[in-house]
Amino acid sequence: MPVCAQVSPPPDDVYPNKDTTKVLDSAAKIMKERKDAYLAVDALILAVLGASDVGSALQEAGVLRGQLEDAVKEVRGEGWGTCVRLHARELACMPVCAYAACV
C-alpha cells in the first residue's frame, strides 16, 4: 500500500491526490445516475469500494459490493431522490425524509 507524503508544518491548503479524485469522480457519476441533487455519503462509500486498494481490502474482509448496494438501497428508500430534489434547500430535512415522509 502506498505511503502518503508528509510535510511539516502541514500546508494551509489541502488538495486531493489522484486516487481520491478518482473516488470523487466515481461518486459524482453515481450521484448523476440517481439524479440526486447532492453528493451523498452512500455514493462515496460505493465509490470507495470500487477503488483498487480499499476495494480489495474490503472484499478480503467480506464486504461484497452487492450486499453494500442492497444496504444502501434499504437505507435510502425508493423516494430518496425525489426527497432530495424537493428539499434541496432544506438540508436538515433530508435525513428525516429519507427514513419517513418520502419512503
Q: What is the pLDDT of residue 50?
A: 83
Q: Which of 8-17, 25-34, 42-51, 92-101 has the largest mean confidence?
A: 25-34
What's the pTM?
Answer: 0.61
- For residues 66 and 50, the answer to whether their CB atoms sit within 8 Å is no
Q: What is the pLDDT of residue 27?
A: 93
Residues 101 and 83: their CA atoms lie apart, in Å, by: 9
Please name the residues in contact with 2: beta carbons below 8 A apart, sequence gap of 6 or more.
53
Percent of the chain whose pLDDT exceeds 90: 12
Architecture of the domain delimited by 18-76: Orthogonal Bundle (1.10)
Q: What is the pLDDT of residue 29?
A: 94
Domain residue ranges of the chain, discontinuous segments joined by +: 18-76
Q: What is the pLDDT of residue 78?
A: 58
Mean pLDDT of the chain: 75
For the segment 45-79, what is each residue's pLDDT rounded down to a tens digit? 889 888 878 878 888 888 888 888 888 888 877 55
Q: What is the pLDDT of residue 94?
A: 44
